[in-house]
A and B are shown apart, each in its own frame.
Chain A
């Protein structure tokens, strides 16, 4: 199985019932690991069906295949349905390129820095 690490951390939010998490990816998402690793995000969505706000830190993500893009669109749909938001930060040029070619950047906002992504997510 190709290596990929996913770390989830809480982000501070001020008041309300909003939940915010930073999810940091390191490694490659491909056919050998994406089904298994996506369960981590689905568990997060299941625990927080309403107002979940996810910041996906892609700085360490080296590769993603089309199936992982399929999962990303599914997370976007489920989180949006629950009134939450999903943003991407610090994606490498090759990751941005693939997100753009499939049209995902029209749905999910991407930011060059974590601070900008946090601001957009929590505003």
Chain B
């Protein structure tokens, strides 16, 4: 699993290696993951800690993003990238503004879909009853769509799908749930 953590701020002198100072500029992290569900529990742990420690979102939203990332990765593994290929996960946190997650597959999976087809599936299933007789199909319309402000599917020119979700912090529903003491934390730790 390759990780690339990029902050647009200059490194702070004397900063410990496993700590990243929270800045006002966006923090971006990209993870390249082999197409295997085995790795997803690690991605879930990473997402939970990332949101809890590095953003202004509450613990409730950390768990929600954990589900969003898991569902999107599952879809990418199931439909988008065949075994031996990779999926790419890109996190972007813009402090005091939003968190954005982009997931890309290679389009080499057994049942690849075009962006328009996925969008239609999501729209069709949004209004379906929970008792629809299907084991699958709740992840995107009932979880990812419900818990994001923007959900966008696009076709990648070289093949594959790019899914972008964004959640804004200035949602009035979120303000009531903001954790205390996270307004300006000195450090975050990822472990």
Enumerate 18 A-B pairs (CB-CB under 8 Å) in ascending A order.
A28-B44, A30-B41, A32-B38, A63-B66, A65-B70, A65-B71, A65-B74, A66-B143, A67-B74, A67-B135, A76-B131, A77-B133, A93-B63, A94-B64, A97-B63, A98-B67, A101-B143, A102-B142
Verify B143–A107 contact, CB threshold 8 A. no
Closest 10 CB pairs of A and B: A70-B135, A66-B139, A94-B63, A103-B130, A31-B37, A66-B138, A102-B142, A2-B41, A32-B37, A101-B146
**Chain B positions within 8 Å of A69 at CB level:** 138
Verify B130–A106 contact, CB threshold 8 A. yes
Give the interface centre of B37, B134, B138 by most chain A CB atoms within 10 Å. B138
**Chain A positions within 8 Å of B138 at CB level:** 66, 69-70, 102
**Chain A positions within 8 Å of B38 at CB level:** 1, 32
Query: From residue 32 to 68 of chain B, which have CB atoms closer than 8 A to chain A?
Result: 37-38, 40-41, 44, 60, 63-64, 66-67
CB distance from B34 to the nearest CB of A (A): 14
CB distance from B70 to the nearest CB of A (A): 6
Residues of B within 8 A of A (CB): 37-38, 40-41, 44, 60, 63-64, 66-67, 70-71, 74, 77, 129-131, 133-139, 142-143, 146-147
Verify A102–B130 contact, CB threshold 8 A. yes
Which single member of B40, B131, B143 contacts A31 (CB below 8 Å)? B40
Report A57-84 CB contacts with B as 1/0, cut-off 8 Å.
0000001011101110110110000000
Report A75-118 CB contacts with B as 1/0, cut-off 8 Å.
01100000000000000011001100111101100000000000
A69 and B135 alpha carbons, distance in the complex (Å):
8
Give the interface centre of B38, B41, B64, B143 by most chain A CB atoms within 10 Å. B41
Interface size class of A (residues with CB under 8 A): 20 to 34
Q: Tell me if A's interface is mostly helix, strand, loop or mixed.
A: helix
Q: In the complex, what residue of chain A is closest to B147 when comparing beta carbons?
A: A101
Q: In the complex, what residue of chain A is closest to B70 when comparing beta carbons?
A: A65
Verify A73–B139 contact, CB threshold 8 A. no
A66 and B44 alpha carbons, distance in the complex (Å):
14
Verify A30–B142 contact, CB threshold 8 A. no
**Chain A positions within 8 Å of B142 at CB level:** 66, 101-103
**Chain B positions within 8 Å of A66 at CB level:** 71, 74, 136-139, 142-143
**A-B contacts besides A67-B139, A70-B136, A104-B130, 15 pairs, CB < 8 Å:** A31-B40, A32-B40, A32-B41, A65-B67, A66-B74, A66-B142, A66-B143, A67-B74, A70-B138, A74-B133, A93-B60, A94-B66, A97-B63, A98-B67, A102-B142
| A98 and B135 in contact, given A30-B41, A63-B44, A65-B74 (Cβ under 8 angstroms) | no
Q: In the complex, what residue of chain B is closest to A28 when comparing beta carbons?
A: B41
Which single member of B41, B135, B143 contacts A102 (CB below 8 Å)? B143
| A77 and B131 in contact, given A31-B40, A94-B60 (Cβ under 8 angstroms) | yes
